[in-house]
Each structure stands twice: as structure tokens, then as C-alpha cells.
Amino acid sequence: MIFAATNTFFASSGISVAIVTLVEEMNFTRAAKRLGVTQPGLSRRVASLEKRYRITPFERDLAKLVLTEAGHSWNKQSFRS
């Protein structure tokens, strides 16, 4: 499912910044460090997004992080707000 976001949500949320930073870093630990949060905290933020909007912005395994179609859509919307 592709995510269709509203600018109001992005304007009032740090989740957008988290997604953009994750896209840039493609690594939870490095993104968390850049954001000044813990890696578990960033993971919880992304999990909250996934649960609330029923999307999966990233496919994860131990070796890599891959942006999904929904993640590309979210990231694109982030730059519009």
C-alpha cells in the first residue's frame, strides 16, 4: 500500500525527519546518532508509523535496510512539506 500523507501530519511530527534520515543513512544506528536519539527509540518511532498507517517503509535484515515502495512514497511526501 502506498502512503498518502497530509502536510499537517508532517508539519507536526518528527517521524518525517526520522524517515528522511534513515533514507540518507540506510542504517538505524547511524540515523539514530544523527538524530540524537537511541537506536531503540528510532526503531519504536518507525514501528509506530508502521502500525498507525499500516505501511512498511523499510525491509530489514541483519545485513541491510531496503526502502520499499511505501518508503519511497513517504520520503517523497516528506520533501513536499
CATH number of 7-78: 1.10.10.10
Q: What is the pTM of this model?
A: 0.69
Between 80 and 27, residue with greater pLDDT = 27
Q: How far, in Å, are 23, 39, 56, 68 from residue 72 at the CA level? A: 9, 22, 10, 6
Rounded average pLDDT over 51-59: 85
| Virtual torsion, Cα 43, 45, 49, 51, nearest 10 deg | 70
Q: What is the pLDDT of residues 19-45, one digit of tens each?
A: 888 888 999 999 999 999 999 999 988
d(CA 45, CA 41): 6
pLDDT averaged over every residue in the chain: 76
Q: Is the pLDDT of residue 62 over 50?
A: yes
Gap between the Cα atoms of 42 and 5, Å rounded: 20
Instruction: State yes or no: pLDDT of 4 exceeds 50.
Output: no
